[in-house]
Chain A
């Protein structure tokens, strides 16, 4: 299956990965090779088959909807590339 450069550019954008213009043809090629590989799935008769949601037939446990953790902003921020005055800092989002 071949993927055009426009599609590669669009999907990279959706994935929030900057791909330089000259890298796009190679990416489209690799991307197409992988899609070609997974294309085999179209041969399988899946009529009436439920899509798997959980590999073990197990009900997820429920618990009280309560706060069980927290209260340590310093720890939360300790690995941030840029944190100031108790907040994560990012480039301006709203003009």
Chain B
């Protein structure tokens, strides 16, 4: 059986399955074969071939019965942040070493109900805190991409770096990701794939290890906009177990891809033109605007005046919420517990367990979060950040009220960097990766990264489109037009 089957997109595989040209078992075997041979990428950290084959057989029966939803028989990878029943789920942290949940996250449960096939769990930054996958307890995932004539290992981005590496290397057609400040869109941009962060509340957060609950949102990572639309349909929907998930109907996102954006107004925010922005990024952005204009959209300059404060605002709110969410890792109910000395009390147990279990970046953020929430600093930092967040959201509200349908920005300020090249001695340097994406989380909006070109060294670059709240249909339609105009076909040459 040819492993070329693993090259199919979701839409292609679905159509081939329905026509009987291939089977879920053949597809699953092709993907598992590729994943097993791609250990050098460190993308999959736990493969689940038995579950996969069982699900593939079940999908076969559904296809035969003629009642197969779009995701039926499609193999997917799952970010380690999602709890999957009986399968290690440790958020790439030592503190959850050995944790096998007794339950299944709502998003993955919905995917399995739709017939999707779980290949395994994917690498990520520890607790989704990072932009390069280097904070993972499993060691970093490696990008399948390399600079031309240079074997330096590159980051696939983060935190959903394993998901991005796996999809870009064609180990699987799609993977789940989560995005708190850019963790779907930045890795998608770094690896030449498409990643969608839906509107806050579109997908249930139940069963996803919490980082910053007011910002976290799950979304699809795939090779095309159409595939993201199909997969989002299976992931989205109200869940009584997540009171912040919206009780609104899930539209047919794929049907929204009409390819007609004539008369749409696309905003170009002037504050995103950063000082020192590389020419390539500037050019990519201009090209993207030209493509949308050629497709009949109207390009308008807009202002989002509080953009500059989005990163500092995020680095108060996200650590504050993280310090609270991560308080549950105390060595009592699950995961790692430190070995105790004679006479150690319960506080020693907490402190030693958390010192051993959390990596440096997680410790820093928990400590910063504890500080900004502590008596005497709560108003100066946390409350002020929440007020700034209101202002950031108002900027977007005003742009949309003025008739803007979508906003076009670069997805990242650079192409992928080498492992170890950023943030070794400056924890703040790594934060800048999220400069174009973090505003979208703070305002709860949907955002999508679409591959749009290569840099001078042959690495992918992405553009971001930002939509109105609950406007995924129009956003996907616009992204689909951009994707076709950009015609990105490059793929990494296999070295792994």
Contact = CB atoms under 8 A, between A and B. Distances in A.
Interface in B381-404: 381, 383-391, 393
B337 A51 contact: no
Interface in B301-345: 306, 308-309, 311-313, 315-316, 323, 327, 330-337, 340, 344-345
B243 interface: yes
B351 A17 contact: yes
A14 to B, nearest CB: 5
A63 B347 CA distance: 37
B391 A44 contact: yes
B346 interface: yes
Contacts, number: 170
Contacts of B277: none
Interface in A34-69: 34-35, 37-44, 46, 49-56, 58, 60-61, 63
Given A17-B354, A46-B391, A63-B240, A55 B363 contact: no
21 contacts: A11-B367, A18-B355, A27-B367, A37-B311, A38-B312, A44-B309, A44-B387, A51-B383, A51-B389, A52-B386, A53-B386, A55-B214, A55-B444, A56-B199, A56-B201, A61-B243, A78-B100, A79-B102, A79-B335, A91-B340, A92-B346
B427 A34 contact: yes
A92 B345 contact: yes
B138 to A, nearest CB: 19
A49 B390 contact: yes
B141 interface: no
Interface of A: 8, 11-19, 27, 30-31, 33-35, 37-44, 46, 49-56, 58, 60-61, 63, 72, 75-76, 78-82, 88, 90-93
Nearest to B379: A51
A79 B101 CA distance: 8
B246 interface: yes
A16 B427 CA distance: 21
B420 to A, nearest CB: 17
B381 A38 contact: yes
Contacts of A52: 386-387, 389-390, 393
Give 7 closest A-B pairs by Cβ, nearest first: A55-B444, A51-B386, A18-B351, A81-B337, A79-B334, A46-B387, A18-B355
A17 B102 contact: no
A44 B305 CA distance: 11
A88 B333 contact: yes
Interface of B: 98-102, 199-201, 214, 240, 243-244, 246-247, 306, 308-309, 311-313, 315-316, 323, 327, 330-337, 340, 344-352, 354-355, 358, 363-364, 366-372, 374, 380-381, 383-391, 393, 426-428, 431, 442-444, 469
Contacts of A93: 345-346
Contact of B374 (A14, A75, A76, A80): A14
Contacts of A82: 337
A16 B102 CA distance: 27
Given A52-B393, A56-B246, A75 B355 contact: no
Given A13-B351, A79-B98, A92-B346, 20 more contacts: A11-B367, A15-B323, A16-B327, A16-B350, A17-B358, A18-B351, A18-B352, A27-B364, A31-B368, A33-B427, A42-B380, A44-B306, A51-B383, A51-B387, A52-B386, A54-B214, A55-B393, A56-B469, A63-B240, A81-B336
B274 to A, nearest CB: 15
A80 B370 CA distance: 26
A38 B333 contact: no
Given A12-B367, A51-B387, A40 B312 contact: yes
B396 to A, nearest CB: 11
A53 B346 CA distance: 34
B374 to A, nearest CB: 6
